[in-house]
Structure formats: C-alpha cells, structure tokens
Structure 1
Amino acid sequence: MLQILILIGIGLAAGTVGSLIGLGGGIIIVPMLLNIDQFLSAFSTVPIHVAVGTSLITIVFSSLSSTLSYHKQKRIDYKSGILFLIGSVPGSLLGTYINSLLNTERFTLFFGIFLICISIFLFVSSKLNKKTKEVHKGIIRTYTNDEGEAYIYSYSLPLAISLSVCVGIISGLFGIGGGILLVPMMAFLFGFPPQLAVATSMFVVMFTTLGSSISYITLGEVNFYYILLLIPGAWFGGKIGSYINQKLKTETIALILRVVVLLYGIKIIIENI
C-alpha cells in the first residue's frame, strides 16, 4: 500500500511541476525511480533505461492532461507547436536510439553544466520585462495575456526546427520530456510570453514523449506496474499545474522557471562529480 501511495504521489508532483512550467515532469520521475530503493525496501532497483522509459510514458499522460486544460484557457500556439514538432519528434527517436547504444552517464555532467549556463542567461536576461519584443525576419505572431499585456514574438523557421531537433534528442536521451530546453528557447530566445511558452511546450512534449515512449516499449525498457500507478497522479497533477499557472503573474512564472533550471543543473553536477 505504501508503494502505491508513493508512486501516485510522485506522479502528482511530477505532473504539477511539469505542467506549471512546461517541463514535462521527467526531472522528478527519473531521479526518484533511480534512488527510491535506497530509502524504501518496498522498491527494487530500477535500471537507468527503464527509469527513462517509464518516465516518458508517464509524461505522455500528464502532458495530455495539461494540454487539454491549456486548450480551454486558449494559451496554446498550435501553429508554432506543430512547427517545433517537425524537429522534436524525429530528434526524440534519435535520442532514444543513442540512449540504447551509449553510457549516457558520461554526458550527464556536461548536460548539467549546460543547464547552469542556460539558467545564468535566464537570470540576466531582461527580455521578459518588455511588453514588445524586437521583431526579426521570419514568422511573427502576437498574443495578449489575461493581464492585458500585449506581446509580439518572432522566430526564424530554420533556426526553430534545428533547435527543436536538439530538444528532441535530449528528450529521448535523458527522458526529461524536452521542456527544460523548449520553454527557455521559446520564452527567452524567440520572445514567447511565459504563459504561452509553457502551454505550447506541453503540447509539443506530449507528442515528443509519445514518439520516444513507443521506442522504449519496443525495446522492453519500461516498468508497466510503476506506470499504472504513476499515471493517475500525473494526470491530476497536469490539471493542478495548469490551474496554478493561470493564477500566477508572468514574472512569477519566469522566476520559477529560472530557479528550477538552475537547481536541476546543480543537482545533475553534484550527482556526477
């Protein structure tokens, strides 16, 4: 019974945090599955590949839940999301394949350092304090949030697709959903308002993780018992996270994103030193 409650709780926490800032939830599920056996005898050791595969399948459901909620709030830029999927879905399949061939632990430290660099950029960036962004050549869109703030954001299609491929590869490689990079890319590089970036990220993550999940199921690297217990919490967590996101101000969402990326990068580095 304790095992059931803990897995439901992990799913709930992952779904809530993932939906709140568009990260998917893998940053919670994967480390919990890898380390929980050290604290509770009810759990057995989970191999890294199985933890990643189990996480990705759970994220499919939490991202679907939050996507449905964000759709009702009219916060998803579907046109941009579909363009990002062109790169991220093939990238996720490639990342899954690479994961099955290599010992990813040697790359994890560098990924943590990379996240620290991203977080530093997010903290020093002042772009979110502007109501309008510098408009570049390419695709230009507008958005007005619930606070009445108008945003103009733009991006180059080749650059967006190229970066989306990288996001997809990292998603499949580390089982984190890809949102940890996708949201900063949209919000700070392309000028998406944070609410829109988070909601659109969950839409993209849903399909990205679906592609990776199929690959992990084919490889037999999933724990279906854990998945069945993680999904209910993750589903409701997706609803809770999107509700909280709707109530928070733009600056608050941006701050939470900065802090989470920083802490996750530090955590990865500490674990791999």
Structure 2
Amino acid sequence: MNIIDAITPNLPTIFALAATGVFAGILAGLLGVGGGIVIVPVLFFLFQNFGVSPETAMVVATATSLATIIPTSISSIRSHHKKGNVDFELLKRWALFIFVGVLVGSWLVTRVDGTILTIMFGIIATLSALNMLFRTGKSALFNQLPHHAGQSVMGASTGFFSAMVGIGGGTISVPLLTLYNYPAHKAVGTAAAIGLIISLPGALTMLALGTTPQDAPAGTFGLVNLIGFICIVPLTVLFAPVGASLTAKLDADKLKKVFAFVLLFTGLRMLAQSFI
C-alpha cells in the first residue's frame, strides 16, 4: 500500500483536524484563550462524528490536546519572557506541586471512564465561561497570595484538574491568581510556563501508560492521536498571529463574550450528554 492509499480513507479526519488547528490558533491570538479549552470539545464531538464512542472520544481528546500544548506553550513562554511577564519565583514555589498533580491526574485519565472526564470538562468549561461573562479585572477577593501551604494546594490542584481535562493550566491558574490580586499580565505570562509543566509529563504519561481503545481514531498511540497532533500544532502556531492581528480590527471584548456563551453552551451540552 502506497502513502496515497493509506491517507485517502482518512482525508475527512485530516481536514477536520486541520480546521481545528486553524480555529484554535485564531481564537488563541484573538482572545488570548488557551488552546486546550477549544481543542478538547472540538475533538470530543469530531471523533464521535467518525464513529468513536463518547468515552473514547473524551480520553483521546484530552491526551491529544495536552500533546498539542507542548510546542505552543514553548513558543508562548518565549514571547511572554521577552516582555518580563513570567514569574519564575512563583514557578519555583509551584512547579513540584503542579508536577505531582499532573502525574496523579494523567495516570487517572488512563484508568477512569471517559464519562467522568466529560463531566469534569463540562463543569470547568461552564465555570470558565461564567468567569468571562461576569467577573471583572477589579473583582479580586484577596489582597495577596496565601502562604506556602495554600499555594501548594493551588499548584497541585491546577496540575491535577488541568491534566484530567486536557487544558494547559491558564484556564484555571489565571482566574485563580487574579482572585488573589495577582497582576493579570503576569498571570497570563506565567500560565504559559505552567502549561509546559502540565502538558509535557501529562501527554507522555498518557502516551506511555494509556491503552489504546479498540474504537480509537486512526493514528492513536496510547491515548494520543498523532494525526491530530501533526495536523493541529503547525496550524495553531501559524494562525495565532493572524488572530492577534485581528484584535485591532474587531471588538475583542464583544467577541470574548460571544466565545464565553459558546463555551457555556458547550460545557452544558457535554454535561447533558453525560447525564441523559
């Protein structure tokens, strides 16, 4: 069988995955949202359209999303570091606890039913959407970050829940940090580095320890769909600057609210699919 014969049956999947990369890249550049919060639900519903069960679709979407975050987070770290927005002191305090949380969370992904992951993502997506819609930059509840023990819990929780649902950490860490009156620009920059600490060990754990489900989409090794990784990553990186350039032409605040409503609908739909 030549390469054309091997690729042809998978062309619809490849085109759909490429479109996912374009969509995630533009949104990331335009709205500053993490790729995982876009990629996971898109892959979840996309894989089901190609005959994959919801349980398998969710675990493969989670693992594949984490894999795509590795290169994009490296690029993002460089950009934020040049602007002085990466707080390495915070990372030193949080890194070990994030790492432990990721190992536990990613190991659980290889063991639990995908429905549990779908429910977790639905809850996190819904809360994230509500945060975008109703919380302002001045709504910090505390004057400063808690002491060492409190920050340890924050780091471990960020790693654990992010790994469990395939997101890079910014969806959880940025609202959490700003809740404690932490500067938003530093929260976003530091979240890029947190994303690498989450995605690299998380994806490797799911690749090495995950057992590929029988109905997994073509190109899946462990729980990571390598075809998805190859299609999504370059297009996400390529189209993120396109999204960033659109911010000067479009009303980003209004678009962020539109995205929040879409994310809210997506989260509630995933919850409904899990319970109904």
TM range (shorter): 0.7 to 0.9
Q: Cα distance, 1:115 vs. partner?
A: 5.2
Q: Cα distance, 1:176 vs. partner?
A: 2.0
Q: Which moved more, 1:45-54 or 1:104-113?
A: 104-113
CA contact (8 A) 2:142 2:180 kept: no
CA contact (8 A) 1:96 1:173 kept: yes
1:182 aligns to 2:173 (yes or no): yes
Q: Cα distance, 1:91 vs. partner?
A: 0.5
Q: Cα distance, 1:119 vs. partner?
A: 5.2
Q: Which moved more, 1:160-169 or 1:228-237?
A: 228-237
CA contact (8 A) 1:23 1:202 kept: no
In structure 2, C-alpha distance between the alignment counterparts of 1:258 and 1:157, rounded to whole Å: 33
1:204 aligns to 2:194 (yes or no): yes
**Alpha carbons of structure 1 residues 74 and 254: separation in structure 2 relative to 1, 3 Å:** farther
- After TM superposition, the structure 1 = structure 2 runs for residues 1-273 of structure 1, keeping only pairs within 5 Å, are 3-18=13-28, 24-37=34-47, 39=49, 43=50, 45=52, 47=56, 48-106=58-116, 108-109=118-119, 112-113=122-123, 116-117=126-127, 120=130, 125=135, 128-129=137-138, 135-136=143-144, 154-187=145-178, 189-219=179-209, 220-240=222-242, 262-263=264-265, 265-273=267-275
Q: Which amino acid aligns with 1:129?
A: K
Q: Cα distance, 1:264 vs. partner?
A: 5.0
Q: Which amino acid aligns with 1:60?
A: I
TM-score normalised by L of structure 1: 0.73
Identity among equivalent pairs (%): 26
**Alpha carbons of structure 1 residues 244 and 256: separation in structure 2 relative to 1, 3 Å:** farther
In structure 1, C-alpha distance between the alignment counterparts of 2:74 and 2:249, rounded to whole Å: 20
CA contact (8 A) 1:49 1:221 kept: yes
**Alpha carbons of structure 1 residues 253 and 69: separation in structure 2 relative to 1, 3 Å:** farther
CA contact (8 A) 1:85 1:208 kept: no
In structure 2, C-alpha distance between the alignment counterparts of 1:250 and 1:77, rounded to whole Å: 26
**Alpha carbons of structure 1 residues 178 and 248: separation in structure 2 relative to 1, 3 Å:** farther
In structure 2, C-alpha distance between the alignment counterparts of 1:121 and 1:181, rounded to whole Å: 11
Query: How many residues are paired up?
Result: 250
In structure 2, C-alpha distance between the alignment counterparts of 1:202 and 1:124, rounded to whole Å: 24
Q: Which runs of 5+ in 1 are unaligned?
A: 137-153
CA contact (8 A) 1:56 1:209 kept: yes
After superposition, the C-alpha distances for 1:129-174 in whole angstroms (9 at most, x for unaligned) are: 38x99644xxxxxxxxxxxxxxxxx443321221121111112212
Q: Cα distance, 1:210 vs. partner?
A: 0.5
**Alpha carbons of structure 1 residues 67 and 116: separation in structure 2 relative to 1, 3 Å:** same
Q: Which amino acid aligns with 1:109?
A: I
**Alpha carbons of structure 1 residues 239 and 61: separation in structure 2 relative to 1, 3 Å:** farther
Q: Cα distance, 1:194 vs. partner?
A: 2.6
Aligned to 1:143: none
CA contact (8 A) 2:30 2:252 kept: no
Q: Cα distance, 1:80 vs. partner?
A: 1.6
Query: What is the DSSP-based 3-state SS (H/G/I as helix, E as strand, rest coil) of the residue aligned with 2:34?
Result: coil
Query: What is the DSSP-based 3-state SS (H/G/I as helix, E as strand, rest coil) of the residue aligned with 1:192?
Result: coil
In structure 1, C-alpha distance between the alignment counterparts of 2:151 and 2:255, rounded to whole Å: 23
Coordinate RMSD, CA, aligned = 3.6
Q: Which runs of 5+ in 2 are unaligned?
A: 1-10, 210-221
In structure 2, C-alpha distance between the alignment counterparts of 1:260 and 1:234, rounded to whole Å: 20
Q: Cα distance, 1:49 vs. partner?
A: 2.3
CA contact (8 A) 1:59 1:209 kept: yes
